Structure 1
Amino acid sequence: MKFFNSVQKNMSFADVVASIRYFIKMNPDCKYRLAVGTDSQTKGKFTCFATGIYIHREGSGAWGCISKRIQNRRYISLREKISKETQLTYEFANMLNTELMSSLYDFVARYENFDCRLEAHIDVGTKGETRRLIREMVGYFEGMGIDTKIKPEAFVASSYANRHSRDVRVS
């Protein structure tokens, strides 16, 4: 899987983790929100899933990247499409939890104000057809202890990833 943003292309997951660590290291005495979210769009017989990883230094900047997967399949069922988006978000959140979060304990010990929360942003909300899926999709993350956000707070899925899911070409 490859990641990209407006400046960097063809990043590996290890590159993403290194970029996040570097971003935190530049100003470690702050609070951070590390969020993952997926959105998808179906065009013709293809479905494009875009997963965003976004780290926000509260009050002072952010860094993010996208990974796209194109499937030669048209998702017709809303439940199936949202389930796939949530599954991808879960996979990336689990990878970040494994590869990154444990290495941040050094910052906790050394910096009084350091805090980094991992969030899953799910593209469901209390309005519209997806409201019936909230409990089921949020349940994916309860066992992991990851904060889960839904619309309108789920900006990584509903805004950041959404911008990139519209184009079925892999960047």
Structure 2
Amino acid sequence: MGQRWRAVGVLAAALFAVNVVARLVTRFAFPDDDAASDRVSLAMFLVIGLILAGVAFRWGADRPLGRLAGDLAAAVGVALALTVFVGPLVVGENPFGGGAGLFFAQIWLYLAATAAGVLVGYLILTALGRDYRSRQLKRYAEMKRSRPRRVVRR
């Protein structure tokens, strides 16, 4: 059980680290360039989506969908809370400094990027037939085929 939550914590820390790196790059490399900071933010969301696609692909092969969804939701929830509340403090800004619109836009964009990443990773895994459920069904079919037919007497 401890390994499960350790993996979730490492994933949340990795997602938060991507956000911190993007904030630091925006702060020090492009302090006054809004177009460049938008590109850095887009790159951050793409990296987060790719990380989650890879994790969904890897974990989806070993875990049932319910457990996978719970683990990913926990990691994304923790990373989102850190990103929204702690991330701005790292670069010396107020989390609510941009107003409510920017605050909630950041939440919705983060959730959209993470949902897209998880969906892409899991759909690719399912299309390849390597997800947990498909492998279960394959084992069941092989087991049924390997048994000899029962002769029924009348």
Q: Give TM class, smaller chain.
A: 0.3 to 0.5
Greater share of strand residues, 1 or 2? Answer: 1
TM-score normalized by the length of structure 2: 0.39
Greater share of helix residues, 1 or 2? Answer: 2
Larger Rg: 2
TM-score normalized by the length of structure 1: 0.37
